[in-house]
Structure 1
Amino acid sequence: MDGELFPRERTLIAPGAVHLPDWLEPARQRELLDAARVWARPPAGLRTVRTPGGGTMTARQVCLGLHWYPYAYARTAVDGDGAPVKPMPSRLAELGREAVAAAYGAPLADGVEYDIALVNFYGGDSRMGMHRDAEERSGAPVVSLSLGDACVFRFGNTANRGRPYRDVELRSGDLFVFGEASRLAYHGVPKVLPGTGPQGLGLTGRLNITLRVGGLP
């Protein structure tokens, strides 16, 4: 945000969990938003995720590379229109490698490539409960990119959904990477802050792009 009294700085939130504010410049944010609008189109487009207990997630989602559904992966949109999932763009996979290098000061190991993206759209009243990204077989860090409205991102511990946790405000362009000791930490989004996104971006709501290494056959 322009004119802030105290500029936001790189912060270690927990061991292996790093917040880098304003990592994506405005032009790159617009590029990702334009791409996300294409990814969201059918087939295998934006959908509402339904949980095994009969509930629905308030954030809508589209997947790339592999299709995530509670709580597994598939090569088709098994809980949507059944179409083959869209491929993982090479430029997005490379962005994941750049993000890890920026967060940790060292590149991702050779041969490890980001092959899954979960793109979540949050309206002003959307939430995401505390959960772990545990369906992957790889321990590579999770990369999270934020576009549009800011949110409260709750980053917890690896033992349970409760305390201790830390709330972090993620704004458009922010990068959050969690791996190493925090790879299986519980995390969620208790609140979106409507109307806080950059006016020039042209997005109402919040878009989160989460990159993962599956390590799956």
Structure 2
Amino acid sequence: MQPQILRNQVKSHLLGQIQRGELKVGKTINLALLARTIGVSVTPIREALSQLEQSRVISAVPNRGFIVPQLSRQEAKNLYETIAQLEITAVESSVYTEYDIEALRNQQLLLQQSHTPMRRLEARLFFHQLLVRNCPNSVLLQILDDLKTRLRFYEQMHVRDASFYENVDNQNEAIIRAIEENNVPTAALILKMNWMVVLEYLEKQLAA
């Protein structure tokens, strides 16, 4: 099997663990166990972990190996502000069809039917994925994906009540309406507020 395919296989496995909340902050990643679980050698695992390190999802620590780094208020601030700005740039460069708007509305309905923090997080992130998928800048979209992988650790650890997302999700309808009216400045403003509400909540949780 080609090295790139093996690396992607490892990354997919680790990202799945992150999405399911199985990969914990502060936990050292067991390379030998990972190799046995996936059925590949340690070499593509190290390559995949190095790529995830470049994306700041994990860190390499001397004498410990690869670990999921601890969370901090400063990183959360940098992370959410950067994601907000990149999404605004993506929206500003996107063209939306009636099909795209309908897809956003359908996802908004799914959001309202999600009643656990994990399901609400997944539904919310998919809404934002739909929001930027027409952006022609593939590099920007890849950076967004990498940042949102790290973001998952913050929300999985600190958002215990799914009802918190209700106020955030209510802004989605306003974003959709603004896009439908071709009012990009308003959509961008609400989108930034959308991310900043979550950041404010997390900063309080991290300070507690």
TM exceeding 0.5: no
More strand by share: 1
In our comparison, the structure showing a higher alpha carbon Rg is 2
Shorter chain as denominator, the TM-score bin is under 0.3
